[in-house]
Every structure is written in structure tokens, then in C-alpha cells.
Copies of this chain bind each other. A is one copy, B any other.
Amino acid sequence: MSEIKKVVLAYSGGLDTSVILKWLQDVYKCEVVTFTADIGQGEELEPARKKALAMGISAENIFIDDLREEFVRDFVFPMFRANAIYEGEYLLGTSIARPLIAKRQIEIANLTGADAVSHGATGKGNDQVRFELGYYALKPDVKVIAPWREWDLLSREKLLAYAEKHGIDITKKKDGGSPYSMDANLLHISYEGQVLEDPAKEPEEDMWLWSVSPEKAPDQAEYLELEYERGDVVAINGVRLSPAQVLAQLNSIGGKHGIGRLDLVENRYVGMKSRGCYETPGGTILLKAHRAIESITLDREVAHLKDELMPRYAKLIYTGYWWAPERKMLQTMIDASQESVSGTVRLKLYKGNVIVVGRDSRKSLFDANIATFEDDGGAYNQADAAGFIKLNALRMRIAAKLGQR
């Protein structure tokens, strides 16, 4: 165990990170700086301050930041420009928040002269990787303390015993009634553990916290108009909004209509399969709408190249490589492709369905004169197709003829 002087802890104020806080003080005998971020998880942050003070953290060592706008503007939106989905289904809600936490934690380490950082992610999951790859990329000599990989408090009972022994407040958080392992931010809320550990079992309805079921959603569809500028939504129904406002509003409307639930078995970076459930109401709408605006504004081959690279880009985010040069390099290309992705998309939301009902853009590449089934007045010469097909077929014809020899 190396010598640590000061450690910046990603501190939620919940039981786990409170125990970690105490454990760091006890085991590492070091000064602890707490960092609590609002990334839209829907919890008050002031209780975290109080708890930290109660555990002896000095006021100047308590950092509480509202990162919601930065989160959506610099992380969520760039990711959606790529139409990123992991394994065909997962919208990367947890994955995309970790790089921001890591970045801010390192900034605070630099501000406070800390030589170490710590987080509450377990040794089995992806989050430890996402946090730590971020730490190392941004501050290569930082020391990382991952208590879950070090201590022996590996069950809830031991954790509670430790908390009680050290006088840590164990009253549950607002959503603490849930037996699931959860993570929330402005993009999504996730559930793991418990009954979900059997992939054959359906989750219970009361697990879901952000959305109603499609059955409970309104019987009346709702129409929505999103305005895009360079790949990002800038207005909803004609009202200009900040990035975080956009996402918050889409979450609210989507959740109301039963949109964005996902039940998935995914492949973790550390090697095992795990089952997770996710609610991503706003993100589900964003993905559908972004594809729609791209469908009229992107060149075909640009769109196809994006589609072919998307799984790799999504995997980079899933596995924690946001700060890696290859992710940045791909982002450069993706962002360049969005130059013309402006316009409006009209959607209909109804009981879990997001239905595109219209797209329009001054930058549209849809040319009705050419596409029409009616007489196009010579805009397109049908005879050209014969040569097009003939030359595209040539290599196969030669091969078939030679096969006949």
C-alpha cells in the first residue's frame, strides 16, 4: 500500500461512498477531498455536504458541482452525433457520465494538490475501468484507490456493520428503497442485480422509476418537433433550450409515454455477461430523431461510413476510452460530418413508440424531382442505369464465364 497524502473521492453521499470516505481516513490516514456532482441523477446534493462535514471533511475540501450542462453539451450530444449504440441496444447512459466525473475529479486533484483519487465502483464492473482510464489519461502519475478491490467489506452486511461501528448515517436515500444496484444521470437510470441476475426472468413493474409502462401511458398520442443544428437539438416545439434543458424535457415527455425501457444482457469489458435494465426516455427519442434528420441531410456514403464505424465508437465509450486518442480521432470525423445536419424532425409519441412523421431541412439532399415516380422531365436518365449495372456486374460475369470453361 503506497503512501497517500490527499485523495479526491467521488462522493455521492450514499452509504457506500460514506463508508469509503471513512475507510480512506482510517486505512490511508490521508486527507480526503469529496467531490459530488449533479449530473442530473435527481438527488439533492446538500445532504452530501452535511455528511462530509460530519465525517470531518473541512469545508474547503468539499466540492459540489452542477455539471448538467457540460454533461449534455460535451458528452451526451457528441455521442448522439454518432448514433452510438452498444451491442445493438444499449444507449450508453452510464458509460458516458464516467469520463466527466473522472475529468472533474482530476481537476480538483490538481486544484487541491491531491496525489490520489478514489471511487466507489466495484472490481467486477465496467465503471472502475471508465473512471481509472480517465484518471490515468489526464494525470498519468495519479494514485488510484479502488476500495472494492482492496477491502474485505464484500457484502452488504459487512458494509452496514462497518458503517454502524463508525457512526455513519445509514438512513436510505430517496430511491434507496430499491433493492437493485442503480445508476442515474440526465441520460438514464439503470438497474442491475437481484432478480435480474436470471436472464430468463422478467423484471417486476415496480422496478422502473422514470417511465410509466406503455400500458399506463396516455391513450392520446403526442406530437413533438425537434430542431437540429449541426447534429444537436437546439429547440423543442419552437422553444430554444440549452442542452440539459433539451434532455430533461425529452426525459419528461418520453417517460410519460412509456418510452425508452430496455432489458438487456450485455458483455462487460472485464469479461462476463451481465443483465441490466435501463430507462433512457430522452435518449431513445434523440436517437430516432437524429437518424431522421440525418436521413435527409447526410450524403449516403458518409452515412454508411458512420454506420460502419459506430459499433467501434460505441465500444470505445462503453469500455472507458473517452479520453483516448482514437476516440477523439473518430469524434473529429463524426463532428465534421454534422456540418449540414440541421433542420426539423416531427415525431409522434405513443405508448412506448417513437414514430417519425416528418423531416425537413434547408440543407435537405432529398430531391423530389429526381426521386419522383412521375415523369421527372429529364432530371434523371433511366438509360444510365443499364451501363451502371453492366459494369457493376462485369467482375461476376467474367467469373461466371470462366467457371463455365
Given contact pairs A132-B393, A137-B397, A137-B400, a sample of 12 additional A-B residue pairs in the complex whose CB atoms are under 8 Å apart: A136-B397, A140-B396, A154-B375, A197-B368, A215-B221, A270-B385, A325-B399, A332-B336, A333-B333, A365-B398, A365-B399, A367-B402
- Give the chain B neighbours of A149 by CB distance below 8 A: 382-383, 385-386
Q: Please, which residues of chain B bring their CB within 8 A of the CB of A274?
A: 371
User: In the assembled complex, which residues on chain B have CB atoms less than 8 Å from the CB atom of A353?
Assistant: 214, 351-353
**Which of A132, A181, A302, A371 has most chain B Cβ within 10 Å?**
A371
How many protomers of this protein does the assembly include?
4
Asked if A133 lies at the interface with its beta carbon under 8 angstroms from chain B, I say yes
Asked whether B296 lies within 8 Å of A304 as measured between CB atoms, the reply is no
Number of chain A interface residues as a range: 35 or more
A137 neighbours in B (Cβ, 8 Å): 393, 396-397, 400
A residues with a Cβ closer than 8 A to B are: 83, 87-89, 122-124, 128-129, 132-133, 136-141, 146, 148-149, 154-155, 181, 192-193, 197-202, 214-215, 219, 221, 261, 263-267, 270-275, 291-292, 295-296, 299-305, 307-308, 311-312, 315, 321, 323-326, 328-330, 332-333, 336-337, 346, 348, 350-353, 355-360, 363-368, 370-376, 380-402, 404
A237 to chain B, nearest CB (A): 16
Which of A83, A122, A348, A392 has the most B CB atoms < 10 Å from its CB? A392
Partner of A402, one of B291, B363, B381, B395: B363
Partner pick for A301 among B324, B374, B386, CB 8 A cutoff: B324
A202 touches B358 (CB 8 A): yes
Nearest-neighbour CB distance to chain B for A95, whole angstroms, equals 15
Of all chain B residues, which has the CB nearest A132?
B389
Cα separation A160 to B4 with both chains bound (whole Å): 38
Contact B395 A123 (CB under 8 A): no
Closest Cβ of chain B to A153, distance in Å, is 11
A329 & B325 in contact (Cβ 8 Å cutoff)? no
A89, A214, A265 — which one has the most chain B CB atoms within 10 A of its CB? A265
Instruction: Check A300 against B332 for contact (C-beta < 8 Å).
Output: no
Task: Tell me the minimal C-beta distance from A107 to chain B in angstroms.
Answer: 15
Candidates B133, B275, B307, B325; contact of A371 at CB < 8 Å: B275
In contact, B265 and A358 (Cβ under 8 angstroms): no
- Please measure, in the bound complex, the distance between the C-alpha atom of A83 and the C-alpha atom of B373, giving whole angstroms: 31
Known: A88-B291, A295-B273. A367 touches B398 (CB 8 A): yes
